[in-house]
């Protein structure tokens, strides 16, 4: 069963940080064989944010996490754990989470990273919620942060037009007072037979860095876009339907759908298969592109900050990514808004 059956788990604050630099489709036209119209038609993306030279994933994560804590009214030294979902860490080790823990002076907190493609956001939230529900932790800071702009081939129009940089965060707690939402359930899946659809093949054990891996462009994100589209449309609609049913509700009872902001065509196609109107989806990929493990956090934060959600409404967060992995969480909004603008 995907339901959290232990202690209630509440959401208390959210935050985000995106770089200042905005890269438009028109600017990409000058360096890549593409057009604004081609990008919008195939992805829905108009602009994306790009990190400044010297700006690190841990920098974005720290600011987003700090803002979420301030919104929640929870001090860093009250945290039991910090979890960071990322596919573009500053270094393989130490992890981004440890750097954030140190920068926040969260002296009581443990820290670990989750690397599960773009689905890392959902996996990290599920781990945090399970830890609180079981009684292991009281307060957990969960962050999704990416600087994928440094890991893509800027001559490959199939990938470079998609990704943007950014970070988002949520603070989860066992405390009910002042909560934004309550976590109801989570459901996670993986299909490792499709592990070749999205990959970053160079630089580690399978393909150690060498002149050959550099010449072969193995140190860049590689993606079979058409195959990803097919996989998501085959796997996600039925999975989401079943997750709702196992949680005791129907897909029609979900008031808002917060998808991983990968591609407008994917979101539209999945919702049509579920017979859900696109007006129920939170969309911001037109402004930020695909921020990978950060996208659900950023979209949710902006929706709450903009007053789109109302008490009692049910929100489904879902993502999919390299692995292939996919998953979802269902929340119910509570009576107070504690989001920092």
Catalytic residue among 12, 25, 87, 118: 118
Catalytic residue among 290, 301, 328, 338: 290
Question: In this predicted model, what pLDDT tens digit does every residue of 37-46 receive, in sequence order?
Answer: 999 999 999 9
Q: What residue ranges define each of the domains in the chain, with the CATH number in brackets? A: 9-179 (3.40.47.10), 182-333 (3.40.47.10)
Residue from 8, 142, 33 nearest 85 by CA? 142
Q: Among this protein's residues, is 12 annotated catalytic?
A: no
In contact, 149 and 294? CB cutoff 8 Å: no
Q: Which helix (H) or strand (E) holds 256?
A: strand 256-259
Angstrom CA distances, 200 to 32, 160, 203, stand at: 21, 14, 9
Catalytic residue among 12, 260, 301, 338: 260
Q: Looking at residue 335, what is its pLDDT?
A: 79
Give me the half-sphere count of Cα atoms (radius 13 Å) on the Cβ side of residue 72. Answer: 31
Residues in the chain where the model's pLDDT stays below 50: 1, 337-341
**SS3 breakdown of the chain: % helix, strand, coil, rounded to 5?**
35, 25, 40
Residue from 240, 117, 252 nearest 187 by CA? 240
- Characterize 182-194 residue by residue with b for buried, 16 or more Cβ atoms within 10 angstroms of its Cβ, and e for exposed: bbbbbbbbbeeeb
Q: Looking at residue 181, what is its pLDDT?
A: 98
Q: Among this protein's residues, is 290 annotated catalytic?
A: yes
Query: Reduced to 3 states, what is the DSSP secondary structure of residue 2?
Result: coil
Q: Among this protein's residues, is 284 annotated catalytic?
A: no
Q: Whole-structure pTM over 0.85, yes or no?
A: yes
Chain center to CA of 147: 13
H runs (alpha helix) in the chain: 25-29, 36-43, 57-72, 96-104, 120-133, 157-160, 211-215, 225-246, 264-274, 285-288, 295-305
Q: Looking at residue 109, what is its pLDDT?
A: 98
Q: Looking at residue 203, what is its pLDDT?
A: 95
């Amino acid at each position: 069963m995907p339901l959290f059956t232990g202690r209630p788990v509440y959401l208390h604050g959210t935050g985000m940080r995106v770089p200042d630099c905005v890269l438009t489709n028109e600017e990409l036209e000058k360096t890549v064989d593409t057009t604004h119209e081609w990008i919008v038609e195939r992805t829905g993306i108009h602009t994306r944010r790009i990190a400044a030279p010297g700006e690190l994933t841990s920098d974005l994560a720290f600011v987003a996490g700090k803002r979420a804590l301030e919104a929640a009214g929870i001090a860093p030294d009250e945290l039991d754990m910090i979890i960071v979902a990322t596919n573009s860490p500053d270094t393989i080790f130490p992890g981004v989470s440890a750097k954030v823990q140190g920068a926040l002076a969260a002296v009581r907190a443990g820290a670990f990273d989750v690397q599960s493609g773009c689905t890392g956001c959902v996996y990290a939230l599920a781990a945090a919620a399970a830890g609180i529900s079981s009684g292991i932790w009281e307060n957990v800071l969960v962050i999704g942060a990416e600087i994928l702009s440094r890991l893509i081939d800027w001559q490959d129009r199939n990938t470079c037009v998609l990704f943007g940089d950014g970070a988002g965060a949520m603070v989860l707690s066992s405390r009910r007072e002042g909560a934004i939402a309550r976590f109801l359930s989570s459901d996670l899946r993986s299909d490792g037979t499709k592990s070749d659809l999205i990959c970053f093949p160079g630089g580690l054990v399978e393909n150690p860095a060498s002149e050959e891996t550099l010449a072969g462009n193995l140190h860049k994100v590689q993606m079979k876009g058409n195959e990803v589209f097919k996989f998501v449309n085959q796997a996600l609609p039925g999975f989401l339907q079943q997750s709702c049913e196992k949680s005791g509700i129907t897909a029609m009872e979900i008031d808002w759908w917060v998808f991983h902001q990968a591609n407008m065509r994917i979101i539209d196609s999945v919702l049509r298969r579920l017979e859900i109107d696109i007006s129920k989806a939170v969309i911001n990929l037109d402004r930020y592109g695909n921020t990978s493990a950060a996208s659900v956090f950023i979209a949710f934060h902006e929706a709450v900050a903009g007053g789109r959600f109302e008490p009692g409404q049910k929100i489904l967060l879902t993502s999919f990514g390299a692995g292939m992995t996919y998953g979802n969480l269902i929340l119910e909004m509570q009576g107070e808004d504690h989001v920092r603008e």
